[in-house]
Chain A
Amino acid sequence: MPQKTLRFKIHQDGRVEETVEGFIGNSCNEATKNLENALGKVTVMNKTSDAFLSNQSENLTQLNNESNVTF
């Protein structure tokens, strides 16, 4: 019986930091999807995998349109 934990810090300006613990694989993202949709826009998400100890960070607010391609 693993325990699932959600931690929130709701800042004065309405920004919310959310930490989700105790999920296996991608069920972690599914678990809070509805909540995140009702709350607003996810601006930063860091996934931490205990198995690989890798940090993957996606900044969803920054579009990659700054390409400096020279020919």
Chain B
Amino acid sequence: MSHFSTIKTQLKEAEPLIKALNHFGYSINQEDKFVKGYKGQFTAVDISMNLPGDTQVGFKWDNNSNAYELVTDLDLWKFEIPVERFISKVTQMYAYQTIVSKTQEDGYQIVEQKNKNDGSIELVLTKWEN
């Protein structure tokens, strides 16, 4: 039997999220766990970082959605790409990092990886069963 699924990616785990952020060269700020968020209020976050241009960004665990959510002050957003694009980029890389690490744990190997023209990443992994 085989199956085909569509999954709406959510930022569920810290480790692949941090790997995704590091992949783009964003450094995690270990000292300061507060980010200026909605209406300029400082919000405690689980992961905080500074984007180039002093844009402050954090990720905070949200019990309602059961995932990490972005915290930032949109009035202070001075990064080179819009915030929606930033979230998409991080989410796509989070999915990639999660797939690679979870499948490796299960003994799969990457046999094909392509960056497609439509901006998607295609991955094929295989495992031989004894």
Contact = CB atoms under 8 A, between A and B. Distances in A.
Contacts of A2: 129
Interface residues of A, number: 47
A36 B120 CA distance: 18
Interface in B92-127: 92, 94-96, 98-99, 102-103, 106, 108, 118-127
Interface centre among B2, B99, B103, B130 (most CB of A within 10 A): B2
Contact of A16 (B3, B13, B95, B106): B95
Contacts of B108: 4, 6
B126 A47 contact: no
Given A10-B121, A14-B92, A43-B7, A49 B128 contact: no
B119 A39 contact: no
Contact of A14 (B1, B4, B88, B127): B88
Interface in A19-60: 19-26, 28-29, 31-32, 34-50
B5 A12 contact: no
B6 interface: yes
Contact of B99 (A28, A29, A39): A39
A49 B96 CA distance: 28
Nearest to A47: B3
Contacts, number: 154
B27 interface: no
Nearest to B13: A38
A9 B5 contact: no
B125 A40 contact: no
A35 B103 CA distance: 8
Nearest to A12: B119
A31 B2 CA distance: 11
A4 B122 contact: no
Interface of A: 1-26, 28-29, 31-32, 34-50
List the 3 shortest-distance A-B pairs measured between CB atoms, nearest first.
A14-B91, A40-B10, A12-B119
